[in-house]
Structure 1
């Protein structure tokens, strides 16, 4: 039972969380595809800065939901990617992309492992 709730309310809450978790799992494949597109865009000299900004935004969203749906490891990897991009700030240069790419690959590995296990 969830602390402070009667059994019926706790069951409803748990069922709602299970539905959210299922939707999250079903969205993982599309999220992975999107991150792979951005990984590819990091190679493009005309798009890498824009791709980093988009990566940061997507990692931020992913980090935000993962704790709520029980995917802490994905959330931690997303947070590391977001923090790395934030730490580069205005000093983001093409030579920093290897660090970003490495963290993105770790995130993708974690997402794929969880998708396979689901």
Structure 2
């Protein structure tokens, strides 16, 4: 029971959180598809900057929501992607993109595991 709440209010809160978690899990498929599309954009050096900016923005949003809905491992992986991209210089090299790909694939694996488990 949530501390300081009576049983009815705690049950309502827990039910609401369960619905939010369920909606989050349902959104994973679209998020995964979007990340895979961006992963494909990393094949073209001419699109690296834009793709990394979009990946970073999506990872940032995912990192933020995961803390609220209790998916800490996804959130940690998203944060790693976000922080890696934040630390890249203005001139991207192949090894930078390889690191982005690697961390993004770890994030996708974690997201897919939760989607498969649902």
| TM-score range for the pair, normalised by the shorter chain length | over 0.9
Q: Which runs of 5+ in 2 are unaligned?
A: none
Q: Which runs of 4+ in 1 moved over 4 A?
A: none
CA contact (8 A) 2:32 2:112 kept: yes
Q: CA deviation at 1:71?
A: 1.1
1:93 partnered with 2:92: yes
SS of equivalent to 1:46: helix
Cα distance, 1:92–1:63 mapped onto 2, change above 3 Å = farther
Task: Give the TM-score normalised by the residue count of structure 1.
Answer: 0.94
- Unaligned residue ranges in structure 1 (runs of 5+): none
Q: Number of residue pairs matched?
A: 117
Q: What TM-score results when the alignment is normalised by the length of structure 2?
A: 0.94
Equivalent residue number for residue 56 of structure 1 = 56
Residue equivalent to 1:74: 74
CA RMSD of aligned residues (A): 1.1
